[in-house]
Amino acid sequence: MGGVLWAALAFAVLTMSGWGLAAEAQTVVRIGLSAPLTGPDAAFGQGMRLAAEQAVADLNRTGGQTFALVVADDGGDPRQGLAAAKRLAADKVGFVVGPLTPSVAALVAPAYEAAGIVLVTPGVSWAPLTARGAWNVFRTGGSDAEQGRIAGTHLAQAYGGRRIGIVHDKSAFGRGLADEVSRVLKASGRTDAAFEGFDRGERDLSRLVARLARAQVEVVYFGGLAADAAVLVKALRNAGLTVPLVGSDGLIDRDFAPDAEGTLMTALPEPRKLPDPKLPDPKQADLKGATARSPRSPEAEAIAGRTYAAVEVLARAMAQAKSTDGRKVAAWLHAGRPVKTLIGDVSYDARGDLTASGYALHAWRRTGDGRVDYVGNQITP
Mean pLDDT in residue range 36-57: 95
Query: Using CA atoms, how far apart are residues 324 and 337, in angstroms rounded to an integer?
Result: 17
Query: In angstroms, rounded to a whole number, what is the distance separating the alpha carbons of residues 81 and 96?
Result: 12
pLDDT score at 381 = 60
Give the model's pLDDT for residue 118: 98
Instruction: Note the pLDDT of residue 93.
Output: 97
Task: Give 322's strand partners.
Answer: none
Residues 6+ apart with CB under 8 A from 186: none
Q: Which amino acid is at 96?
A: V
pLDDT band at 280 (very low <50, low <70, confident <90, very high): low
Q: What is the pLDDT of residues 50-66, one digit of tens each?
A: 999 999 999 999 988 99
Q: Which amino acid is present at 151?
A: A
What tens digit of pLDDT does each residue of 311-330 get?
A: 999 999 999 999 999 999 99
As a whole number, mean pLDDT of residues 220-224 equals 97
Percent of the chain residues past pLDDT 70, beyond the cut? 88
132 vs 311, more confident: 311
CA of residue 158 relative to chain centroid, distance: 28
Least confident of 66-75, 260-269, 316-325: 260-269
Q: What is the dihedral of CA 20, 26, 28, 29, to 10 degrees?
A: 20
For the segment 99-120, what is each residue's pLDDT rounded down to a tens digit? 999 899 999 999 999 999 999 9
DSSP string, 116-181: T-EEEESS---THHHHT--TTEEESS--HHHHHHHHHHHHHHHTTTS-EEEEE-SSHHHHHHHHHH
In the predicted model, what is the mean pLDDT of residues 244-251? 94
| pLDDT for position 64 | 86
**pLDDT mean over 259-270:** 88
The DSSP string of 191-211 is --SEEEE--TT----HHHHHH
Band of the pLDDT at 353, cuts 50, 70, 90? very high
Ranking 15-29, 172-186, 196-210 by mean pLDDT, the lowest is: 15-29
